[in-house]
């Protein structure tokens, strides 16, 4: 009996051991914990964990092993809070002329380089002086300033008896700076009064860049830590108010506008100043519709806008925007606007697109009003504070 029982027990034990080994082997080949064991959902991404982190295999890690690294691929999915509004970061106005200098140099190359080449000739005879004169007139400097400059240079070159290019350049620079007049007050009246904001009105003919200038100026004031409010008193061009509001929204500045097409611009301007007083902002900038200086009705309307605004406080600054590419024609516009609204400063736009930089001198001369700002491009921060020496240096570089 034992002879039969022992081999049977041995066979049963052997089967049990082999069976256990087989079970262990199969378990060892199952999916490791942490990875998908069931079919993927249709929107599951390969290699992405439940936290939206990508699983990246880093091979050849220092330990010589394979490691799983979690790289969050969208941090916002970790943060449930609604995103805060993002405003543009704006560089301050100071130092902009230096940054934008290349634009002036490019567009006014003929003036500076042309004059220097003429004045560096071995012999400066009558023909050369005639060419100098012509170059200045072509740059829209105006007849009177041109004559003054040529006479002054003639005298100085004669006295110095020098044809040294560096010396001639210095003389030319000094005479040009004198004409552009560094003594003019070019500061902008944007200081808040004790009980109300500073009020700035922007005026000019159609398409010169008024709305763009108001937008650029609002940005610069925000960069100077000022609270600004915009008034869209250009109720004539349908898209102007939206255009202005978009400029404002980019830097967190509110815009007062009318929902009614062709609304009374004086009442929009009035409401803007009223809101500015209530909200205790530092500056209210009022954009106005483009108008031709020979349209009497439109010019009267502009006068009315200013008078209505002034029921709440005097307008601190009336900026006339002139397109530098229109040259001498700008002078006629300027004279009429000056009569109607008493201009306190000029913004000369599109100086990046003209060789007629001399218009700065001509305008200041004819109006007695300083150029305060210059536009040097379509970019949001392509507006610079004007400065006589920086301007002349750019012309002559
Ligand atoms: N190159 C250049 N373009 C400018 C400058 N300033 C404004 N512009 C462009 O001039 C065009 C007219 O600008 P707007 O601001 O709409 O002119 P506006 O005077 O408000 O026009 P209206 O409301 O129709 O009278 C736009 O295409 C601006 O981008 C500048 O300094 N340089």
pLDDT at 157: 86
Measured at the CA of 194, the angle between CA 277 and CA 307, to 5 degrees, comes to: 55
Interval 133-147: pLDDT, tens: 999 998 888 899 999
The dihedral through the CA atoms of 135, 138, 140, 143 has a sign that is positive
CA of 214 to the centre of ligand 1 (A): 10
Answer yes or no: is the C-beta of 210 below 6 A from any ligand 1 atom.
Answer: yes
Rounded to whole angstroms, how far apart are CA atoms 24 and 7?
Answer: 26
pLDDT at 374: 95
How deeply is 45 buried, as exposed, middle or buried, from its count of CB atoms within 10 A (0-12, 13-18, 19+)?
Answer: exposed
Answer yes or no: is the C-beta of 209 below 6 A from any ligand 1 atom.
Answer: yes
User: Which residue minimizes the CA distance to atom 31 of ligand 1?
Assistant: 375
Binding residues: 204-211, 287-291, 349-352
Answer yes or no: is the C-beta of 237 below 6 A from any ligand 1 atom.
Answer: yes
Binding residues for GTP: 204-211, 287-291, 349-352
Q: With the CA atoms of 250, 252, 253 and 258 taken in that order, what torsion angle do they form, in degrees rounded to the nearest 10?
A: 70
Name 286's bridge partners. 201, 231
> Side by side, which strands form the sheet with 228-233?
255-256, 228-233, 283-288, 198-203, 317-323, 345-349, 371-375, 383-385
Mutation test residue for ligand 1: of 346, 378, 383, the one with most atoms within 8 Å of CB: 378
Interval 226-255: pLDDT, tens: 999 999 999 988 799 999 999 999 999 999
Mutation test residue for ligand 1: of 207, 360, 386, the one with most atoms within 8 Å of CB: 207
Tell me the two tokens of residue 234. Answer: 């250009």
User: Which residue minimizes the CA distance to atom 21 of ligand 1?
Assistant: 207
User: Which residue minimizes the CA distance to atom 13 of ligand 1?
Assistant: 209
Selection from 220, 217, 227 nearest residue 197 by Cα: 227
Residue pair 160/170 in contact by the 8 Å Cβ criterion:
no
Q: What is the DSSP string of 234-257?
A: --SSTTHHHHHHHHHHHTT--EE-
Confidence band, pLDDT 50/70/90 cuts, at residue 27: very low
pLDDT at 213: 97
Answer yes or no: is the C-beta of 212 below 6 A from any ligand 1 atom.
Answer: yes
Rounded to whole angstroms, how far apart are CA atoms 44 and 385?
Answer: 56
Answer yes or no: is the C-beta of 354 below 6 A from any ligand 1 atom.
Answer: no
Residue pair 297/332 in contact by the 8 Å Cβ criterion:
no
CA of 237 to the centre of ligand 1 (A): 13
CA of 375 to the centre of ligand 1 (A): 9
Answer yes or no: is the C-beta of 234 below 6 A from any ligand 1 atom.
Answer: yes
pTM: 0.78
Interval 30-83: pLDDT, tens: 333 333 233 333 333 333 333 333 332 222 233 333 223 233 333 333 446 666
Interval 338-395: pLDDT, tens: 999 999 999 999 999 888 888 999 999 888 999 999 999 999 999 999 999 999 988 8
* List of E strands, 324-381: 345-349, 371-375
Answer yes or no: is the C-beta of 380 below 6 A from any ligand 1 atom.
Answer: no
CA of 349 to the centre of ligand 1 (A): 8
Answer yes or no: is the C-beta of 103 below 6 A from any ligand 1 atom.
Answer: no
Mutation test residue for ligand 1: of 203, 209, 218, 386, the one with most atoms within 8 Å of CB: 209
pLDDT at 60: 28
Answer yes or no: is the C-beta of 285 below 6 A from any ligand 1 atom.
Answer: no
CA of 374 to the centre of ligand 1 (A): 12
List the helix and strand counts (H, then E) for the chain. Answer: 13, 10
Tell me the two tokens of residue 141. Answer: 């400097």
- 3-state secondary structure labels for all residues of 26-94: HHHCCCCCCCCCCCCCCCCCCCECCCCEEEEEECCCCCCCCEEEEEECCHHHHCCCCCCCCCCCCCCCC
Selection from 112, 154, 119 nearest residue 136 by Cα: 112
User: Which residue minimizes the CA distance to atom 14 of ligand 1?
Assistant: 209
Q: Is 349 helix (H, G, I), strand (E, B) or coil?
A: strand
Interval 162-214: pLDDT, tens: 677 788 889 999 999 999 999 999 999 999 999 999 999 999 999 999 999 99
CA of 242 to the centre of ligand 1 (A): 15
End-to-end CA distance of the chain: 120
Residue pair 302/341 in contact by the 8 Å Cβ criterion:
yes
Rounded to whole angstroms, how far apart are CA atoms 199 and 319?
Answer: 11
The region that residue 313 occupies, defined by phi over 0 for left and psi between -120 and 50 for alpha, beta otherwise, is left
Residue pair 145/362 in contact by the 8 Å Cβ criterion:
yes
Answer yes or no: is the C-beta of 298 below 6 A from any ligand 1 atom.
Answer: no
């Amino acid at each position: 009996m034992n002879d039969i029982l022992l081999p049977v027990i041995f066979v049963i034990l052997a089967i049990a051991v082999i069976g256990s080994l087989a079970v262990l082997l199969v378990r060892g080949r199952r999916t490791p914990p942490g990875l998908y064991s069931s079919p993927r959902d249709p929107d599951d991404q390969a290699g992405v964990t439940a936290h939206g982190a990508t699983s990246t295999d880093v091979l050849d890690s220092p330990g010589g092993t394979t490691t799983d690294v979690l790289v969050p691929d969208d941090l916002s999915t970790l943060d449930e809070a609604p995103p805060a509004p993002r405003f543009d970061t704006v560089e301050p106005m100071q130092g902009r002329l230096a940054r934008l200098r290349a634009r002036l140099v490019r567009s006014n190359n003929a003036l500076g380089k042309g004059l220097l080449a003429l004045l560096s000739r071995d012999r400066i005879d009558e023909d050369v002086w005639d060419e100098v004169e012509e170059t200045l007139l072509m740059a829209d400097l105006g007849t009177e300033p041109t004559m003054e400059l040529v006479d002054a240079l003639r005298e100085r070159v004669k006295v110095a008896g020098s044809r040294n290019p560096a010396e001639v350049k210095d003389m030319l620079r000094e005479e040009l700076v004198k004409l552009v007049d560094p003594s003019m007050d070019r500061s902008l009246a944007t200081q808040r009064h004790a009980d109300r904001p500073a009020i700035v009105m922007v005026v000019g003919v159609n398409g010169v860049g008024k709305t763009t200038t108001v937008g650029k100026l609002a940005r610069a004031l925000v960069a100077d830590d000022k609270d600004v409010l915009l008034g869209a008193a250009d109720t004539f061009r349908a898209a102007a108010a939206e255009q202005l509001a978009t400029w404002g929204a980019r830097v967190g500045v509110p815009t007062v506008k009318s929902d009614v097409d062709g609304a009374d611009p004086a009442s929009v301007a009035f409401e803007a100043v009223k809101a500015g007083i209530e909200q205790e902002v530092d500056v209210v900038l009022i954009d106005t519709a483009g108008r031709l200086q020979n349209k009497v009705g439109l010019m009267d309307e502009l006068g009315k806008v200013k008078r209505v605004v002034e029921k709440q406080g005097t307008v601190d600054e009336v900026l006339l925007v002139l397109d530098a590419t229109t040259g001498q024609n700008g002078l006629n516009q300027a004279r009429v606007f000056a009569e109607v609204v008493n201009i306190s400063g000029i913004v000369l736009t599109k100086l990046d697109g003209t060789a007629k930089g001399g218009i700065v001198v001509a305008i200041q001369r004819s109006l007695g009003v300083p150029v305060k700002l210059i536009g040097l491009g379509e970019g949001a921060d392509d507006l610079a504070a004007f400065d006589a020496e920086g301007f002349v240096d750019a012309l002559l570089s």
